Amino acid sequence: MIPGSMQPYALTLDKFLDHAAKWHPRSEVVTAGEDGKSARVDYAELKVRAKRVSAALAGRGVGQGTCVATMAWNTQAHLESWYGIIGMGAICHTLNPRLLPLQLSAMLTQSGARILILSADLHELAHEVLAQTSTIEEILVIDGNIEPGTVTNGACKVGTLNNAAAAVKGGGSVAWGRFDENTPCGLCFTSGTTGPPKGVTYTHRGNYLHTMRQLQADVAGLTSQDSVLTVVPMFHANAWGLPFSVPAVGGKLVLPGRQSDGPALARLIVDEQVTIGVGVPTVWLGLMDYLDQAETDVPTLKRIMVGGAPMPPALMERIERRGIGVQTTWGMTEISPLGTATPLAEANAASTSGRPAIGIDLMLTDAAGEPLAQQRDAKGDLWVRGPSVVERYLDQTEPATRDGWFDTGDLARIDASGTLSIVGRSKDLIKSGGEWINPAEIEAIVSAHPDVSMAAVIGREHPKWGERPVLVVEIRQGVELSDEALLDRLNGLVANWWLPDSVLRVPTMPLAATGKIDKLLLRSEYGRL
């Protein structure tokens, strides 16, 4: 007997735009402009433009496995770049413009990217980054135009991506796909659970399966009739996969550019008849504040998906009073990033994060990493596994997993129904406004002061940002040291939004049995409002 078989079909991300261009050619990608006007392109034209990007990059020596960096906002041009890079088998390295030049230059050096695709208004930051790295050979500007001298001292070429694409003869003939589905497609750096930023390499297969998971009815449940406002940045955690999942169903993809204030979002929601919004809680707080002040509404908005930071219960109530459903989620960069979501049809609470969809498995362990005998109605360290979960960080030889499981660094509870709630973090990172702050970096700088005996940074509850850092210090006896003197040491060494909101002084730093600073005690005493 000769067994039957199925057709070979590599799970590569170019197929999503191919599908959208063929079967939903008139569905649109809309980008908000700073002048209140929106630019729009349909999927058929977007594919043509993205193919030209591929051809322009190929003419510059980019091929399968080549890393191309982007530092840009949520715009059509950035989306074209994404597909132009990944469609040809290259790797899209997204850079977060909220980070310091020193951090960004280190990431570029590690990735080895030779080309940087840059939003025009980020030219000053790019200039500082280029002064600290020699990897970038050419900058291709999008979303505007700039003079070459404003970005670089002449060490690398500067042009526009539009001109580069327009110069391609024949409109571009680079083939998409035709490579293994395990080929890397993206690179995003995360603070991880400990230590300096680590590179998470996404694969086509991992992101394809993540897209399928996101489209399930109990997760995002997107349809061709939806207009999806993607406020979560494209440089942050894979944009939660929306640049792939929305075209996959032929929905309208609405991109806010760099504007995420309440009035701008409200106008965009009304103009584009947005049905679903996706972003961190602070975004929706700004929207609700504006709607209350303006005494207006966004009647087409049916639900929002929120994640990246704890959801304040009061904010959730304000949203739901307007008839807008709220789906809480949990995820992280290392899992591509969506892990769990609360089905919209079920009772929801701000403290819960939903259940995993097919393709994600969860496990609770004790502090030693041993699985708990009871996994329901239990609390422990959260581990995760699945085809879109990191196995090994960039340039690291050792796996990031143990027996196939990844330690998230979160403390969690899973109730009898399988609903996940994040109750704390076993590791030390602070999540403020959906972004990670690494206390160790702040502590190292402050502790270097000769008059500081010990220093610790903890997260304190904050109604807007979820958490904000607080510096706790033990000063040498008999020494006078101002708060300003302590905080001034951090200027230029950490991002401004990393700066502690306040300084708390203790006569003696509490120590745990191990001799380390007892941060659990500090959090219990100083971590609440």
Catalytic residues: 190, 334, 431, 436
Rounded to 5°, the CA angle 68-116-99 comes to: 100
CA atoms within 13 A on the CB side of 493: 15
Helix (H, G, I), strand (E, B) or coil at 319: helix
With CA atoms as reference, report the closest residue to 357 among 339, 344, 345, 377. Answer: 339
Residues 6 or more apart whose CB falls under 8 angstroms from that of 382 comprise: 362, 363, 364, 407, 408, 410, 411, 412, 420, 422
Backbone angles phi, psi at 285, to 5 degrees: -65, -45
Both tokens of residue 295? Answer: 């005494």
> Taken in order 170, 172, 177, 183, is the CA torsion positive or negative?
positive
d(CA 239, CA 338) in angstroms, rounded, equals 10
Helix (H, G, I), strand (E, B) or coil at 49: helix
d(CA 335, CA 326) in angstroms, rounded, equals 22
d(CA 72, CA 188) in angstroms, rounded, equals 14
Both tokens of residue 33? Answer: 């402009």
Which helix (H) or strand (E) is 475 found in, with range?
A: strand 466-475
| Neighbour-count burial of 372, counting CB atoms closer than 10 A to its CB (0-12 exposed, 13-18 middle, 19+ buried) | middle
Backbone angles phi, psi at 120, to 5 degrees: -55, -40
